[in-house]
Amino acid sequence: MSAQLDLDFASDDQARAQIDAAVSYLLRNAAGAARDHVVETIIETVRGVASRSPDSAATSNRSLMIGVTYRDFVIDAYRRDVDRWRATIRRSNGKKIRIAFPPSVRDEATTTSDAITAEKAVEFARRAIDLGEVL
């Protein structure tokens, strides 16, 4: 996953079109509770960007802990709030993953506990993989 920040857009309409395309992409295969989770994540992202000072790219919700490979999985850490980090887990080959509890099959899983750092969130994700909570 890579982030392109501070893109130059020809107009506000072009920027909105990019946002629309990104949201459509994120929602493409989501249904039910998974769709609700994606919408929640999008809203959190927008709130995070809106609360950031315009001249402070360093206070981004992005982390250097993005695209961490562990076994057959890729782990991405993200900040939900100040000192509240979570991580998403997905297969490196793009296949769906099985979640032990509640039993389900999804494109990705998110750690259920907040961590104080991105590194800790990635550690939680690795532990979930090791314990077989994510297969």
pTM (two decimals): 0.54
Residue 89 has pLDDT above 60, yes or no: yes
Predicted confidence at residue 1, as pLDDT, reads: 39
Contact 110, 133 (CB under 8 A): no
Q: Which pair of tokens denotes residue 35?
A: 């769709």
Query: What band does 131 get if pLDDT is binned at 50, 70 and 90?
Result: very high
Q: Which pair of tokens denotes residue 23?
A: 């949201």
Q: C-alpha 122: how far from its chain's center? A: 12
Q: Sketch the domain layout of the chain as residue ranges.
A: 12-57, 63-130
Residue 105 has pLDDT above 90, yes or no: yes
Start-end of H helices in 28-86? 32-51
Distance CA 116, CA 86 (A): 9
